[in-house]
Structure 1
């Protein structure tokens, strides 16, 4: 999930290369086949017949690579398909060598025609690539099932624990209210119901934010941030937007990302793990900054910050350092970022608070 800043440029260069790897393999096979015809200098019917088959197979491998490039398959899985293609080509090449060796033992001509070897290698590359596509599809399905299972585990935890606590609180204060009639007990019941309502809303949001973004559009980052700020109770804090960047995203989900980060800064003092966080939640003031990075944007505050040992735990469902927190705001942020294929990095802000950086963001 977390990537060092100095690795972002190398990552951006590696991703396009990975997506074009299978097509590049097909182009290489095609170039080798064409080179044999060009060296001979005669495009006879026999030459075309001998090398037409490996050329056609190479073009099919190129088409497979182009399809992988446009099918939305992650670059790392495209690289896996390329490895399968290379393995298939190598296996068929070794098979050709073994066949030649057997022929030599029998006293026949040892070397096979180049067109035959190229045909076998191209068949191996194409067959390996198709097996790789099947493997990647199976891997994606396995990952989806594992993600669904993890969500079910989270929901079971919420039902069995997180929702049970406010229900018990409400029942206890309801009994005391019937006996004493004190207003504070009714207020406690109302607070418990508010907490349950918020838990239900955030669980629904968590279940819906993990899907991929199918139709992103260019949106103004400052506009979305200010719209999100207007919908969150920020306890007298100020928002400072230091960018006019346009990013390609789902504006509705991007607004939900900002809302949860702003709410996190206001309620927990940026999820600080000590008593200062609770004090920060009860006091007014403070500033949240939205700015841009080389390949994305960040949201930073001037609260107590997040200790390094907690910077991965904060994205776990149900984890919160505040007794009033649900622990699902930052997991929602993580899900939204993953849906956009963004990378999250948590570090310290210039004021010593928390800074959430989002890398790999497409912009205009």
Structure 2
């Protein structure tokens, strides 16, 4: 708990460190005004206090920056490391002179200046380090988005277009086209358009620039459960509320679709079954997908949602990325007596069609995705 508070308040720590150094400098040089005449004490306070105030300003700017919590923590660590390193070097020189028996008139003054200079230099270096890491993560997100879009265009969307083309050719060449051909074309066209919309939403999350809104998880789950029940040889049952709005975007369809398809594809039971449940709490909405398949070994549960070794983002790794972007969590449990339970929890959003007023987590999720 304390470590979490420290990481969250890294910018304040930088500012507090600068304030402490400034007060220490003023307190040290205050006694010189009564023993020394002229501009010396004033110049000493300026030389000693200005860097400390600069460090306070660094803390203020850091709190107003777009760096993530981890990025700000990195700046604080570099600030502290710079102060310790430069201060230690200066302290070592003072120690050497003392061991030599030489008289050092005032060691505190140069030590304070060294610590302050090291803290500022460390803060600047830490900021650019954190910024470089953030840019690298952003570049990785963009790469993942391009890989995902390319995969979808080459596979899923091409399949839809091939079906449309096949039925269109049949209508154009057959003497008596099947009456269902236009319906199939319309259905596949609608699926393709929905897939493009979903893909755009997923790419936004991967890039880190999503537009969140209340999405009805219950409606999406009902639609995906029906599709899986009709597509796979598996019995799908549901327990869904009338509505369950969460903070997400249309990419949520891919989360539910991938989890349900995974449960169906890997179910090797003689009578494969999947039970899907959505429950609404005060601040979260939970999606539970239970199957009676072979289960997942404990060694793999922690890494099942991670990005694959080749850096691609697909299947359950895509699910993990999206859920994290939405500010939610995902975990895997053992089903009793056999199988797996996929549990996804997402921030509950205000239902635009209801007078209920749950915690609105849109801004929280947007900040998490940007960070």
TM-score by length of 1: 0.66
- Provide the C-alpha distance between the structure 1 equivalents of 2:208 and 2:189, rounded to a whole number of angstroms: 33
- How many Å apart are 1:140 and its aligned residue? 1.7
Sort the Cα spacing of 1:147 and 1:299 in 2 relative to 1 into closer, same or farther, 3 A.
Answer: same
- Per chain length, whose mean CA-contact separation is higher, i.e. which structure has more relative contact order (CA < 8 Å, sep 6+)? 1
- Mean alpha-carbon deviation: is it higher for 96-105 or for 154-163? 96-105
Unaligned runs of 5+ in 1: 1-8, 244-250, 321-326
1:291 correspondence with 2:254 = no
The Cα shift of 1:11 comes to 6.5
Do the aligned partners of 1:287 and 1:301 also contact (CA within 8 Å) in 2?
yes
Q: Aligned equivalents of 2:105 and 2:35: distance in 1?
A: 23
Contact 1:163–1:196 under 8 Å retained in 2: yes
**Who is 2:288 aligned against?**
301
In structure 2, C-alpha distance between the alignment counterparts of 1:332 and 1:58, rounded to whole Å:
41
1:355 aligns with 2:343: yes
Equivalent position of 1:323 in the other structure: none
1:85-112 residue CA offsets vs partner (Å, 9 max, x unmatched): 2232234324424554776799853465
Q: How many residues end up aligned between the 2 structures?
A: 322
Determine if contact 2:142/2:206 at 8 Å carries over to the other structure: no
Task: Tell me whether 1:22 sits opposite 2:14 in the alignment.
Answer: yes
TM-score (norm 2): 0.65
Is the CA contact (8 Å cut-off) linking 1:27 and 1:58 kept in structure 2? yes
Per-residue CA distance 1:323-355 (angstroms, 9 max, x = gap): xxxx97x36833642xxxx35232349997432
- In the TM superposition, residue 275 of structure 1 has moved relative to its aligned partner by 5.8
User: CA–CA distance in 1 between the matches of 2:307 and 2:285?
Assistant: 17
Distance 2:307 2:123 in 1: 40
The answer as to 2:344 corresponding to 1:344 is no
Map of 1:1-364 to 2, 5 A cutoff?
A: 9=1, 12-37=4-29, 46-97=40-91, 99-100=93-94, 109-110=103-104, 112-175=106-169, 178-179=173-174, 181-183=177-179, 189-210=185-206, 224=214, 227=216, 229=218, 233-234=222-223, 235=226, 237-240=238-241, 254=248, 256=250, 268=261, 273-274=266-267, 287-292=277-282, 297-301=284-288, 303-304=290-291, 307-308=295-296, 309=300, 311-312=304-305, 317-319=313-315, 330=319, 333-334=322-323, 336-337=325-326, 342=327, 344-348=329-333, 353-358=341-346
Give unmatched runs, 5+ long, in structure 2.
227-236, 350-357, 361-371
Deviates more, 1:184-193 or 1:120-129: 184-193
Q: Work out whether residues 201 and 210 of structure 2, in 8 Å CA contact, stay in contact via their aligned partners in 1.
A: no
How far has the Cα of 1:62 moved from its partner? 1.8
Q: Is the 8 A contact 2:219 2:243 kept in 1?
A: no
How far residue 24 of structure 1 moved from its aligned partner, in angstroms, is: 3.4
Root-mean-square deviation (CA, aligned residues, Å) is 4.7
State whether residues 301 and 353 of structure 1, in contact with CA within 8 Å, keep that contact through their aligned partners in structure 2: yes
